[in-house]
């Protein structure tokens, strides 16, 4: 498994990160918790030593799942654990909003530490920018948590460059987590170059574009109530088939490398300038085994050019991931 130093943190991490949004079940049509735990453990066996989670993933369920897997693994210090803060939900779990106030963060970190069963979080990330709370106040609270030994490094998820600058003016930022994949590439225009120039590590998420780049869809799928893809414009009938035509063309390149479509898509993301690590979720051990196949090979430059030609031909009106953002 390929490893890399995560920016200036000194953390030695796998270039693939085990993402647990799907493990939590919420917004993905549910999850088999026993199978999800086996997937995490299989990832650890394969050398994936970096796990990304969040309280909102299953409303604590994903963090609890990671905690159980860590206890079964038994070697906490061999795993880099990243989680997040700054989102809250109502009792019915139907409304989620941003809240990065210092009191909220101080409360959240103890909840996460308890669910994860650890005494320190390696990378603690603000999940979304909160317009109601000054970044300086949030960063001060995070620095206090560093001083208390509850968190090691601070990260930012779904932040734009000017927001990152504002946070960095108030405290150290070690990593940035933006959405980024073959079909959603807004981060490549400004954010990734900024991170590369500033020496900030990145762990990009959505590498398979909510399964669209897995190569498993036919275009006839119907997603259950509660599955976020029901509201994603890419999965509406006309757009869905448009994107799948691009996937079919991309698969021909992947076949030449004897790689699955998922492996090809994740490898593409990993080879883009400014990308340190790529997050990939998995429901099953078989899926994490497939994801791990992104390691140890390269897409040649001429095929990277062919990818651009395919996208220009098939994706006339790209749709971004903005629909995922919780209200401020």
Residues catalogued as catalytic:
57
Q: Which residues pair with 28 in a beta bridge?
A: 227
The residue among 55, 179, 38 whose CA lies nearest residue 114 is 55
The residue among 181, 186, 195 whose CA lies nearest residue 294 is 181
Q: Which helix (H) or strand (E) holds 119?
A: none
Q: How far apart are CA 159 and CA 165, in angstroms?
A: 10
Dihedral of CA 132/121/1/194: which sign? positive
Q: How far apart are CA 172 and CA 195, in angstroms?
A: 14
Q: How far apart are CA 194 and CA 164, in angstroms?
A: 10
Longest dimension (CA), the chain: 53
Question: Token digits for 190?
Answer: 């400004």
- 102-116 vs 135-147: helix axis angle to the nearest 10? 40
């Amino acid at each position: 498994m390929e490893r890399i130093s995560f920016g200036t943190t000194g953390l030695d991490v796998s270039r693939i990160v085990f993402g647990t949004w799907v493990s939590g079940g919420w917004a993905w049509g549910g999850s088999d918790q026993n199978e999800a735990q086996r997937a995490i453990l299989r990832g650890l066996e394969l050398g994936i030593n970096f796990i990304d989670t969040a309280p909102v993933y299953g409303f604590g369920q994903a963090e609890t799942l990671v905690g159980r897997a860590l206890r079964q693994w038994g070697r906490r210090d061999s795993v880099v654990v990243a989680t997040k803060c700054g989102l809250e939900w109502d009792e019915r779990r139907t409304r989620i909003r941003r809240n990065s106030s210092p009191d909220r963060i101080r409360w959240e970190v103890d909840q996460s530490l308890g669910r994860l069963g650890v005494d320190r979080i390696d990378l603690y990330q603000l999940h979304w920018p909160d317009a109601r709370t000054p970044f300086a106040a949030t960063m001060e609270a995070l620095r206090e948590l560093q001083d208390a030994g509850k968190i090691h490094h601070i990260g930012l998820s779904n932040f734009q460059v000017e927001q990152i600058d504002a946070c960095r003016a108030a405290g150290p930022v070690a990593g940035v987590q933006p959405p980024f994949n073959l079909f959603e590439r807004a981060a490549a225009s400004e954010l990734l170059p900024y991170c590369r120039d500033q020496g900030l590590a990145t762990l990009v998420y959505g590498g398979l574009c909510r399964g669209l780049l897995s190569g498993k869809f036919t275009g006839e799928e119907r997603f259950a109530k509660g599955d976020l893809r029901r509201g994603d414009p890419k999965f509406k009938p006309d757009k869905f088939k448009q994107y799948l035509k691009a996937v079919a063309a991309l698969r021909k390149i992947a076949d030449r490398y004897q790689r699955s479509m998922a492996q090809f898509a994740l490898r593409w993301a990993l080879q883009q300038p400014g990308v340190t690590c790529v997050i990939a979720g998995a429901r099953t051990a078989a899926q994490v085994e497939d994801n791990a196949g992104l390691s140890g090979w390269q897409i040649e430059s001429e095929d990277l050019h062919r990818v651009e030609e395919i996208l220009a031909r098939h994706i006339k009106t790209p749709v971004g991931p903005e629909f995922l953002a919780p209200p401020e």
